[in-house]
Homo-oligomer: A and B are copies of this chain.
């Protein structure tokens, strides 16, 4: 079992029983989503920006316009972290204090590099689109050079990371189990609804198999 090394930066302080540094478990959480929360410091304050991402090996890729204030700032300062969270349920306990949520979350620290080569940038943009909907890139109009030229692609290499997972039932005070208070879990999930065709040709086209597959897997 390969693990990220624990340091002051990534060691989980609260709820250590829910923490893991296992590389495979962290990658599984990352691969279950496509939206991350990127932190950066602007004017002395931490700001969090939601962004699409893709993961390959120990690298997270994000992108934006070549003028993207946040990407340019974190490339220069390397002061950033990336958080991904999936909400899995509401934990409704018998007391307020033990209310919680079931979730899988990851926090990543690492170093950043701007990708310069067109072939590398194109690969990453394909991965980002396909992390959202598998096989989607292959159905699209190929990128124009001018589109590639105005896109900034950033490679974030994970140096250290931690995950927290809560996936158990209610944990109440021992004496509270006798109370006549309902307690339990309300599972929460993110689902896809049936695809809505754009105006024009798509209205008369069959929805591609890979998009229907995505819908079936996520409905």
Using a CB–CB distance below 8 Å, which chain A residues touch chain B?
8-9, 13-14, 35, 37, 39-50, 52, 64-65, 67-69, 79-81, 83, 85, 87, 90, 92-97, 99, 101, 103, 105, 107, 109, 125-126, 129, 132-133, 136-137, 139-141, 143, 147, 151, 169-170, 172, 176-202, 205-208, 211, 214-215
Contacts and interface: CB of A to CB of B under 8 A. Distances in A.
Closest 7 CB pairs of A and B: A39-B46, A46-B46, A187-B193, A183-B198, A48-B83, A184-B197, A170-B198
Contacts of A137: 96
Given A184-B196, A211-B92, A45 B109 contact: yes
Nearest to A180: B201
A141 B95 contact: yes
B208 A182 contact: yes
B96 A129 contact: yes
Contacts of A215: 186
Nearest to A151: B97
23 contacts: A8-B43, A9-B45, A35-B85, A41-B41, A46-B79, A46-B81, A47-B81, A47-B107, A49-B83, A50-B83, A92-B211, A94-B141, A96-B126, A96-B147, A182-B197, A182-B207, A184-B202, A184-B207, A185-B196, A186-B196, A186-B214, A190-B190, A190-B191
